[in-house]
Chain A
Amino acid sequence: MKVKMISRNPDNYVRETKLQQHKIPRNYDPALHPLEGPREYVRALNATKLDRVFAKPFICNLSGHRDGVACFGKHPKLLSTMATGAYDGEVRIWDLANRTSMRSFVAHDGFVRGMAYAKNGNCLFTVGDDKTIKVWASKQPEEGEEESPVNTILSRHLLHGISHNRKDNSFATCGEVCAIWDEEHNDPIKTLKWGVDTLHTISYNPVETNVLACCASDRSIILYDQREAQPLRKVVLTMKSNKLAWNPMEAFNFTVANEDCNLYTFDTRKLSAPLKVHFDHVSAVTDVDYSPTGKEFVTASYDKTVRIYHAHQSHSRDIYHTKRMQHVVCIAWSLDNRYIFSGSDEMNIRMWKANASEKLGVIRPRERANFNYQEAIKEKYAAHPQIKRIARHRQVPRHVLNAQRKMRAVKDKELLKEANVRKHSKKGKVPFVSEKKKHVLRQDV
């Protein structure tokens, strides 16, 4: 029998342009590819392994501060600029592309408690332990000129944090009271108080810019509207919340970093229980920041690790740590969704990749297509046990592992005890309470 074949030998044909690629004729009839399933599976397995091989998230270390790093300020327009404040009152402004510090000046006596760029990034507001709000120009002073604040506002109350409105010229500070300020005035436009002695974080909603939220030392989260004369609502959790971050794409969701090793994502409209409890940290969570896509967030913890979570999942997808990194105090996700910055007690600022195995630098289209394919098959076969095992395997420091074991033991013990109590008491007397509902004590109106 004669078998006719379509012959497309590239030697016999002249390309029309040099960019034209020779087409490889393919027959996609599935009958001719009996092993397509296993082949893809093996590819997925290899892709996952390569992903773990290339997972080197640490990029660089920005050193220069002479005391622990206390807070970050992300520039709203420039990706390569970031401001950081330290425990000794020093503020540094970094050129991230060159990994150097452009400016440094002592802004406050004592801690720099918080900092925020104005809406277009032309000035930087810092608050410190010395009860002052200082305004710094973003432009570098000329040589020979001394660094000096554009404006210094003396506050009547202690200050613990600052947040700037994304759309207009107002900003808000917290401390003893929550105060709303205008950039042009030296007195607060409004002070909002609800019987709490200290509010230690404040955060404006980036989408509905009139709404803001504070975390207070009485374990509560308080919601405000900057146009209202009164606060809106208060939720009291079982432990103190350290930081609060709003989801930049879902106006009504926010996440709080709590002292009890968990994070809680709330819907503003339903504060009776969190939407999701995010576990996995083994010590107090100190800071949280959303990715600009609103799909993920990154957390800093007292357990010397940084974790990355999907916004709607309760377990972390990745953990970052280095041997020398101490208690992580502040964290920031860069506005192009590519990098993560962590500031820790031991004076260093670290730069990480948001996606641990991502290739930096130029990616050609064919390479991009291949990466996309790898991602797709990894996702497709994610539930297969071997792939899951490799993809989710992480090496963690010993102290984390030990703490995890301890926490597991405690939790198991509690569960067992509860089960025993339930077994020996009247039916329905010891109700099943979901994990979500355990952490919200009450909602004050």
Chain B
Amino acid sequence: MSDDEEPYNPKAHQKLLQAINNLGSAQSIGKYTRDERQQQQNEFQLVKTHKGVDQSSKGVGFNDLVQILRTSKHIETGKKLKNVYSTKKVLQKPLEKPVADRIKRTIGYEGVKKKLGRWDAVVAKQRSAETQIFPIPTETIYVNTAAHAHALKTSIKSDLGKELEASNQKLRELRKARIGDTTDEKQLVQQEKELLQKKMTRDEMLARRRELAYIRMRASQKSAKARMQNKIKSKKYHKLQKRQKILEQMKEFEVLQKTNPEAALEKLNALEKSRVLERASLRHKNTGTWAKNLQVRAKYDKDVRKDLAEQLAVSRQLTEKQLDTDSEDEQTAIKLKEIDQEDNDPFNPWTKLKNAPKLQAQENGDNTNWRKYWIERNSNEKLVAEHYAELDAAVLEKKINNENIEKKKKIKPVKKKKSKVRVENGWVVEKISNSSDKACSLDDIFEKHQEKIRERLSKKLEKLKKITKDQNQSIQKEKKAKKKPNELKNLEDLTFKNKKQRVEIDEPLNNDLIPQLIDEVSNTKAMLQTNECTTSSIIDPNKVTTITWKQSMRSTDALNDALGEDEDVELADVDAAAEHQLTISQAFEDDDIVADFNKDKSKDSEVKNSDLQLAMPGWGSWAGAGMSEELIHRRNQRLLLKLAAPEQRRDDNKDNLYINETTSKQARAHMVSSIPFPFKSLADYEASIRAPIGRNFVPETAFRMLTRPSVITRKGQVIEPMDESELVKPDRKLRHVVDRRIKRLQAAQKAKIA
């Protein structure tokens, strides 16, 4: 056994141990050396320099180089090198490849983004253009036309013209000779010239200069004064000035009336015109800042309300149509009436047309009367309510006084009771309970009020705090939202509104199976379609464009919210319904909706119930005048077309209901139910539908303009993609007449706005 074993060799053992020790630290592969340039690098050469290996194996360092140089004769260079080494920084280790690539990619992408962003303006313009023509017209080519131009002919008058002039001259002379006029024209002209050229004396010159200077000074003074006066903001001043002006004008007018009646008449016309102008303007409509400011306070302040009402009354007075009350006019009116009575011919539209405006005017008059009546009634009721309130207050005061005298010492704890609120014709009338105040002294009342006020104040403060907090939060949110960059912002900013909005229908197609056989089903379908055709041809014109607008429902609510916002806290305990009613009735203080509504209803039924008089003027009276009245009356009775007994309205007995009986079910299928996409308001859409574009309804040029297609392409021409020259191209010179006209129109509109 021992023979088989190797004898223990300490040296070999030591070596083995060392080898084992070195296993972890040393690398088995030696360092790779390059002796030739290579593109591909061997992966084995990328060995790590070992940490454990001492300095000497690191290779030649910079310091060694300097040391060597110092010992040799190149001390200077050594110093320089050292200097450089100490002052200059060593470049940083390059980034890892994936990171570096990522950075490169982002930079590249940013560059491309920027480059593509150049097209924003062009694209935006193209998108909003009314008509686009493809292929896009290329750049204009400039040709030097001057090179081929003919030289201008210098003589302006032609030979013929010269001859004509000469003959004219001769003719004139001949005529003169015939008359016997011996004045020489040439001499006259010369005299004139001399007069003009005559020099002024020195004094004259000076005087003239002084005069001019004075005029200039006066002008500048006046302008300065006017400027100053224009700057005056005082309302009182302006009011006074206006009054003064009016007075002056009145005086002038009076004088004129006596001296020059014609001029006075003109003046009167001018006054009338100014009144009409004012009528046309929106003066006194409570739309100014003053009125708006007052409206805020109007809720709480009676006087302010009165002021506003006064203002409105003024406007009404101004805008009312003046009826001429001259006696002559009256006479003519009577005559007209008589004529009307004679001419009420149902089959002659011309006579009817004459009457129509008059009737309308009458109706208007009725309307105003009706309105007046309501205003009066409202105001009366207000007055009555006020009076009652005053009376109540007086009684209350008396009672308080009495009670104070009687029970001065007794003070009971007071329970607060909710006061009942009654709404009376737009006014909150609060019944003040007498029992609660029985034992109160004046001081207590004051204290109570102060407390109330304090409470209110604190509540309001809290509310305000809340609001500010919310606002802050929202602002912060906005800020957060803003942080997100929008790459397409530029494009969005550059897009402008399409001048000619078109309906865009972005819906899936209504799919249907391919018909396999032509059978009865399809026939019936065709029948149905023809039916539809017939229905389509009898559509009510007014119904084609009637649409319900969903948002209109909300608007009144919004109004109420706006009105009642501040009072939320104060009126918290007041019945909500009452409050609602209050605001609505306030909003429509002037007019009565219910009456209006009923009137509409009755009017509808009136139209239905009217009988037709078929008697025509002159008809049946062949023998001339002198027919007996009775006979005429009997005949007329006979010719009265009595229509069938009026149908009862479906909503006859229902007060709050109005059923429109004129609508047809067939037309409903043709009506648009909601506003189509790009349109935002009903008015816009209706306007786009209302204007006709057909040849029969608009002039030919307008027709061409309105029916211009949005994209025009030419047959057989390749449409090249957008070219870089589009970026710097000036506006295209328009060749088409319609294009030019459109451009001119636009320019005119712009000028008008500016």
Contacts and interface: CB of A to CB of B under 8 A. Distances in A.
B512 interface: yes
Given A376-B707, A386-B532, A394-B509, A335 B718 contact: yes
A364 B149 CA distance: 38
A295 interface: yes
Interface stretch (A9-17, A29-37, A344-352, A421-429): A29-37
Interface string A229-261: 111110000000000000011111000000000
B108 A228 contact: yes
Nearest to A253: B123
A395 B105 contact: no
Interface in A365-416: 369, 372-373, 375-377, 379-386, 388-389, 392-398, 400-401, 404
A319 B506 CA distance: 14
B676 A280 contact: no
Contacts of A28: 697-699
A232 B532 contact: no
A304 to B, nearest CB: 13
A34 B715 CA distance: 40
Q: How large is the interface on A (under 10, 10 to 19, 20 to 34, 35 or more residues)?
A: 35 or more
Given A166-B721, A211-B112, A211-B116, A33 B126 contact: no
A225 B108 contact: yes
B695 interface: yes
Contacts of B720: 292
Contact of B537 (A42, A225, A385, A392): A42
Given A293-B132, A385-B672, A269 B117 contact: yes
B709 A375 contact: yes
B695 A393 contact: no
A79 B706 contact: no
B541 interface: yes
B670 interface: yes
A385 B113 contact: no
Interface of B: 101-102, 104-106, 108-109, 111-113, 115-117, 119, 123, 126, 132, 134, 350, 486-488, 502-515, 532, 536-537, 539-541, 544-545, 669-673, 676, 688-690, 692-699, 703-704, 706-709, 711, 713-724
A1 B349 CA distance: 13
Given A250-B123, A292-B721, A400 B694 contact: no
A129 B672 CA distance: 57
Contact of B487 (A43, A267, A310, A381): A267
A393 B717 CA distance: 32
B506 A315 contact: yes
B347 to A, nearest CB: 15
Nearest to A293: B134
Contacts of B707: 369, 372-373, 375-376
A113 B239 CA distance: 89
Contact of A336 (B126, B532, B540, B713): B713
Interface string A75-88: 01101000000000
Max chain A CB contacts within 10 Å: which of B487, B505, B689? B505
Given A229-B104, A292-B134, A386 B536 contact: yes
27 contacts: A38-B539, A38-B541, A223-B109, A225-B108, A228-B108, A249-B126, A252-B117, A267-B488, A268-B116, A269-B117, A280-B508, A293-B711, A293-B719, A336-B719, A337-B711, A369-B707, A372-B709, A376-B709, A382-B502, A382-B676, A383-B503, A385-B671, A385-B672, A386-B532, A392-B509, A394-B509, A445-B105
A270 interface: yes
A336 B503 contact: no
A380 B693 contact: yes
A319 B721 contact: no
Nearest to B104: A230
B108 A401 contact: no
Nearest to A374: B707
A336 B715 CA distance: 7
Nearest to B713: A337
Most chain A beta carbons < 10 A, residue from B506, B669, B717: B506
Contact of B512 (A369, A382, A395): A395
Nearest to B120: A252
A208 interface: yes
Contacts of A375: 707, 709
Contact of A369 (B544, B697, B704): B704
Given A38-B544, A251-B722, A269 B703 contact: no
Contacts of A73: none
Given A207-B119, A369-B704, A395-B514, 6 more contacts: A310-B506, A314-B506, A315-B509, A372-B709, A385-B673, A386-B536
A201 interface: no
Contacts of B692: 33, 36-37, 40
Nearest to B507: A315
A41 interface: yes
- Most chain A CB within 10 A, of B486, B509, B512, B713, is at B509
Contacts of B708: 372
A35 B108 CA distance: 63
Q: Which 10 A-B pairs have the closest CB atoms?
A: A248-B721, A292-B719, A383-B676, A206-B721, A376-B707, A270-B487, A252-B116, A269-B487, A313-B506, A228-B108
Nearest to B100: A230
Contacts of B487: 267, 269-270
Nearest to A30: B697
B606 to A, nearest CB: 23
A79 B716 contact: yes
The residue among A28, A314, A397 with the most chain B CB atoms within 10 A of its own CB is A28
B450 to A, nearest CB: 45
A338 interface: yes
A401 B516 CA distance: 15
Contacts of B126: 249-250
B544 A41 contact: yes
Nearest to B108: A228
A379 to B, nearest CB: 5
Given A77-B718, A336-B719, A279 B109 contact: no
Contact of B693 (A40, A280, A386, A393): A40
A211 B118 CA distance: 14
**Which of B113, B688, B703 gathers most chain A CB within 10 Å?**
B113
A78 to B, nearest CB: 8
A314 B508 CA distance: 9
A45 interface: yes
A386 B670 contact: yes
B713 A232 contact: no
A50 B507 CA distance: 21
Nearest to A207: B722
A112 B613 CA distance: 89
A335 B722 CA distance: 13
Nearest to A386: B670
B113 A251 contact: no
Contacts of A66: none
Interface string A182-226: 000000000000000000000000111011000000000001010
Contacts of B669: 385-386
B541 A37 contact: yes
A207 B715 CA distance: 23
B670 A392 contact: no
A109 B537 CA distance: 65
A399 B728 CA distance: 51
A324 interface: no
A404 B509 CA distance: 12
Interface in A6-28: 26, 28
Contacts of B514: 395-398
A373 B695 contact: yes
Contacts of B505: 382-383, 388, 392
A436 interface: no
Contacts of B716: 79, 336
A438 interface: no
A338 B713 contact: yes
A270 B112 contact: no
Given A293-B134, A373-B695, A41 B539 contact: yes
